[in-house]
Structure 1
Amino acid sequence: MSPLRHGVLALLGGLALIGAGLAALPQVAAPEQRERGAAVYAQFCAGCHGTALEGRSGPPLGATGHAWQHADTALARRIARGGSGMPGFGTQLDAAEIAAVLAHVKAAWPAGLRAAQAALPTEESAALAALLRDPAAALPADCGPGG
């Protein structure tokens, strides 16, 4: 990773800390959930993403990667459905196991990255914001008055 990218990541993490305030930092999940996530991760994820989240044949998931730039819903969907060369695990893992894997991964992130990731808009609010930015966008007919 380039020094510039490290600097940008550090700046983003620092800005997130300032913006969120130390009291609002997302807490690391309970030890039991992280332990369950570590076991599931070791079985299903470490082969591609590395035992230390460093990435092998798959991208890194630790602080040097970009998983923290995606909301939990998007990360959970990627685990369940797959995509971009990653197989889906939705038939092998239930929602609690997927949440535990995310807890395990997120526990390895520095506090600033956890805060920045927690502040990301959900997919629904991001889609609405994109719609509102598009001057040519129109709401569906059944969305207006009387619809």
Structure 2
Amino acid sequence: MALTLFVAVIGLVGPGAEFEVYDDALTATVFVSVLLTATAVAVCGVYWAAILVEPGWVTVRRALWTHRVPASEVDRFEPPRTYGSFRQTGLRVVLRDGRVLSGTAFNKGPIDSDSVGRAEAAELNAWLAMQGAFVVR
């Protein structure tokens, strides 16, 4: 992802530089370049977000951070909160110590029903139960 972002930033300086040719306006060049770079970072963040499960591990990726925790520390997966919630709006990972990690996957929109994310949470909880069968505590 870092290489993709680097190439995007280099490519996005070009449209801003077009102002430099015609107006000699450094401010417009910088503004357009920063705006397009911020847009590219936001798009990459949406693309990057996910909840990944692999044997023994759960990884929650968001636009700005990634948490990787052992499956033995995960208590359960919960469906996303209803639309209009301010924080932790995606599919939720509840840890045994009470902390909650919320991915942006399956965020509810204004037209989504309550069923959004429920099947996925049930499937992830079934996976977690299978992991518990193999974990020695």
Common fold: TM-score over 0.5: no
Q: TM-score, normalised by structure 1?
A: 0.23
Say which structure is richer in strand: 2
- From the CA coordinates, give the structure whose radius of gyration is larger: 2
